[in-house]
Amino acid sequence: MAHAAVSIQPAMVVTTNVAMNQWSSGVCDCCDDMGICCCGFWCTYCLMCKTSEEFGECLCLPLLEICFGGMLHPITLAMRSSMRERFHIKGSIQDDCCVVACCPVCVWCQMARELKARRHNLVVINPAVNPVHQQPQAFNQPTQAINTGYQPMHPVNPGY
C-alpha cells in the first residue's frame, strides 16, 4: 500500500484575476476585521511590525517612523506602494501619498487586511516512494570496464 506525505504550508498566492486588481477593502473599512482594527487602535506599532514581517520586510522597519516625529510617514508610504505593486493593485503614488497623509493607522489596517485576504494554504503532496521496488544505488562503482590485466609497477609489500 503506497502512502503519500501531505504537508500544508502557508504561502502568498498572487492571482491576476480582474477582481483582484483592487484593494480587498477600503482604507476606511477598519471595522471589516475587528481584530486588526483593535490591534491598530490599541497597539499601532505592534500591527505595523507584524504586517511588515508578514509582507517579507524587516520586523522593525516601521519603528523608523518614530524618527520622523509623527509628521511624515515614509515607511508607511513605501510599504503601501510596494504592496500595491506586488499585488498589481490599481492606483498611483499620488493616491498612496494622500491616504498616508490622512490616516496612516487606517492604511496599516488596510494592508494587514489585504495580506490576510491574499493568504492561502498551499498543499504539497509528495508521491510515495516504495523502498521495496527501488533499486539500490551503488556508490563508487566504476562506469567503465575494469582492466583485469593491470599490474602495478611496484608490488605492494604486505609486510608493512
pLDDT tens-digit map of 76-134: 999 999 999 999 999 999 999 999 999 999 999 999 999 999 986 445 566 665 555 55
| Residue 16: per-residue pLDDT | 42
Cβ pair 32, 38 in contact under 8 A: no
8's CB contacts (< 8 A; 6+ apart) are: 121, 122, 123, 124
Res. 4: pLDDT tops 70: no
| Residue 148: per-residue pLDDT | 61
Res. 11: pLDDT tops 60: no
Cell numbers representing residue 66 in the block: 518614530
| Residue 30: per-residue pLDDT | 83
CB neighbours (10 Å) of residue 141? Answer: 6
User: Which residue from 47, 26, 6 is spatially nearest to 114, judged by alpha carbons?
Assistant: 26
Cell numbers representing residue 63 in the block: 519603528
| Residue 136: per-residue pLDDT | 57
Rg (CA), the chain: 29
Higher-pLDDT residue of 19 and 36 is 36
Rounded distance between C-alpha atoms, residue 89 and residue 92, angstroms: 9
Burial letters for 101-140: b for 16+ Cβ neighbours within 10 Å, e otherwise?
Answer: eeebbbbbbbbbbbbeebeeeeeeeeeeeeeeeeeeeeee
62's CB contacts (< 8 A; 6+ apart) are: 45, 48, 49, 51, 52, 75, 76, 79, 108
| Residue 15: per-residue pLDDT | 46
| Residue 14: per-residue pLDDT | 47
User: Tens digits of per-residue pLDDT, 112-128?
Assistant: 999 999 986 445 566 66
CB neighbours (10 Å) of residue 31? Answer: 10
| Residue 153: per-residue pLDDT | 63
Rounded distance between C-alpha atoms, residue 22 and residue 89, angstroms: 5
